[in-house]
Structure 1
Amino acid sequence: MDNHPISCYHLGHYFQVEGKQLQEQYKEHISDYSGWDQKDHAHEWMLFAGNLSSRLSIDETALSNGELYTIITNKEAKGRKGAIVAMIKGTVAEDIIGVLKKIPERSRKRVQEVTMDMAANMQLAIKRCFVNAHRVIDRFHVQKLAYDAVQECRIKYRWAALDLENQAVAQARKNKAGYQPEVLSNGDTLKQLLARSRYLLFKHHSKWTAVQSKRAELLFERYPQLKHAYELSLRLGDIFKVCKSKEQAFKKLAL
């Protein structure tokens, strides 16, 4: 277990030993946990300054019970041993700064690049702790903003369709008549079309199924602005895939 990524449960199952008991025995007696110098504060923060490199990344993640933790990783370790530089409970900038400043200033000044999302707290923490580092916004967070904007557009149209249908139902009741919504050629009503188009708008059109392609055709026929928003989000993704420099990307952004 010290050298290979195997859980106590699977190891116990192999040797016909109860996994939970093996885990407790390993933690309390076999491992160095009882004498670990970070044991007292590990529930709040952990720091592995020896894993620091010139290229880092910082992000937040939810672990047990939905608690948020800020994790700083060494990109050069590529997710293997030595990847975690620090793990801090919460996302408060001052808490992150307090832990990272325990790393000697000389070492922190060697950091050249930190990849992050657009959260202001992370920007502040990196600016204060790694003064010589270039702050790089993760492309996936930038693209997520574009995808979110497309979804907002779809949701706006869906609410409008629901309002129109509610008005039509109310009018039909007033006239003591039945209401039958328009059914499109693929079997969807308008509000169903807008609801069921959610996932296809996250995907590249080359990956659509035949059913999704038909749904997209009907959607974009009725909502050209949504089609334009979707195409812009794809073009943003293409910029990240094709462009190798900022100058090239800025030219492509002049849509």
Structure 2
Amino acid sequence: MQRYFLTNDQMSATLVEITGDDASHIAKVMRMEAGSTVICVNENERVVKVTLTDISQGKVTGHIIEEMEEALVEMPVKVSIAQGLPKGDKLEQIVQKTTELGASSILPFTAKRSIVKWDQKKVSKKIERLQKIAKEAAEQSHRSIVPEVVPPLTVTQLTQSIGTYDLCIVCDEEEAKHGQKSNLKQAFERLNQEMKVLVIIGPEGGLTREETAIFQNEGAISCSIGPRIVRTETASSYVLAALSYQLEI
């Protein structure tokens, strides 16, 4: 059944109002009609089954017919992915896949080896697009929340945030080259439910040794993510999949 995320204002005790792209998706892509049913989720993670009553240009209304109790789908820990800005459309892929795999937020940052530099005039539009990708991925994967995608941080801003997390992991290819394989597993074994985890991943070319040292000085743990060197767009998916295996399976 199709799922749509709504603001709290779009959902009352008995009714929902769907607008914008979601309304267009219902009318033009899914070609639904009055009587069709969908699932809607608001910002408070209230999940309801809705029968659509009116489908018009840019607006869809529906009547709530059931409050739904869903199986727990969110990670038992809150994972933020700090991703060094990659080239091309790789960040879109990263946002999509990390959302599907359970990330709670995505924090792009400008690393020394980031080739891409965002035009400040276009940041809001880029973030809007990435947030839309996160929303669509959350709907597809039946998440209870939509991860937040924030505007790009500097290394200094990212470093200053490390202390707000219970655990910070830096994906460090140098650890893999030196044969260190146990740090990630040991870090995961320290986790308890509701902890906040930050995973820092460099862009193409990885993090500089200076950047890694800066993060380590704030308490971050450098970890290999296996004996093979993976692409920047693969690393976050690897970590989230490994964390899911550790905590959920």
What is the TM-score with the length of structure 2 in the denominator? Answer: 0.27
More strand by share: 2
TM-score, normalization: structure 1? 0.26
Question: More helix by proportion, 1 or 2?
Answer: 1
Larger radius of gyration: 1
Higher RCO by CA contacts (8 Å cutoff, separation 6 or greater): 2
